[in-house]
Structure 1
């Protein structure tokens, strides 16, 4: 499983957590216990590491997002966008992945799962997150 595929699986899990208003750690734990799980060890490590980090740094991620979303409150945006923004902001702030890769993959997932304007919104917010981080 590539990192891109693992990131997409993580997105689906964070989306599930958003929709069900369940902690991400709980959703990931349930996911890892599934018999039909088709994730290799690298994928499992990526998903569990990022889910744990996202849970532990939720307050900081949300503060950064709320400071970079103009004209909207986080609660008003869609669950797809929420999930993508949380994962991407966490990765930009706490991981060593180049920001360009994080943004590109978030935009591609937004194009695949979101509505026709989702990717523009995601790109704009993440660009602000990166600019303020540097």
Structure 2
């Protein structure tokens, strides 16, 4: 069964979040890597997973420093490291989506991010994400 685009975005966010948690806790003896988690969440072997999911996760994680640095000037009174990890995951995913993976409409990328934040974080973080993305994505 094919997964919807919303389900794919949820999977991408979750895998990036999982990697951020591992990175922040310096978990060197991880039980599974991103490929295994992607495969498990999609319910199919990694090789058969939608390329969009694989590309989004790979780009978001491999370009972490570049993406983080792009957000820093827009984080008024905030430091990237102090943002909740789920917020970081959504911001990484959104930047990758717009600049590296698919040149989607700015409003679409922001809407996806805000929808995820409303559903999995809270309204205040969704407003924060909306404002930050509006400045970063041009």
TM-score interval, smaller chain: 0.7 to 0.9
- 1:19 lines up with 2:21 in the alignment: yes
Partner SS state of residue 97, structure 1: coil
Cα-to-partner distance string for 1:62-121 (whole Å, 9 max, x where unaligned): 110112211100111111111101111122222311111110010000000102311000
Give, in whole Å, the separation in 1 of the partners of 2:48 and 2:8.
Answer: 8
How has the CA–CA distance of structure 1 residues 10 and 71 changed in structure 2, closer, same or farther, with 3 Å as cutoff? same
Aligned-residue offset at 1:39: 5.7
1:124 equivalent among 89, 112, 131: 131
- 8 A contact 1:11–1:83 mirrored in 2: yes
Equivalent position SS for 1:72:
coil
**Structure 2: gaps spanning 5 or more residues:** none
Which of 111, 119, 122 is the aligned partner of 1:115?
Answer: 122
Change (3 A) 1:39 1:115: farther
2:33 match: secondary structure: helix
SS of structure 1 residue aligned to 2:50: helix
The alignment yields a C-alpha RMSD, in angstroms, of: 2.4
In structure 1, the residue matched to 2:84 is 78
- 1:27-46 alignment runs, 5 A limit: 27-34=33-40, 37-38=42-43, 44-46=50-52
Q: Which runs of 5+ in 1 are unaligned?
A: none
State how 1:77-116 maps to structure 2 within 5 Å. Answer: 77-94=83-100, 95-116=102-123
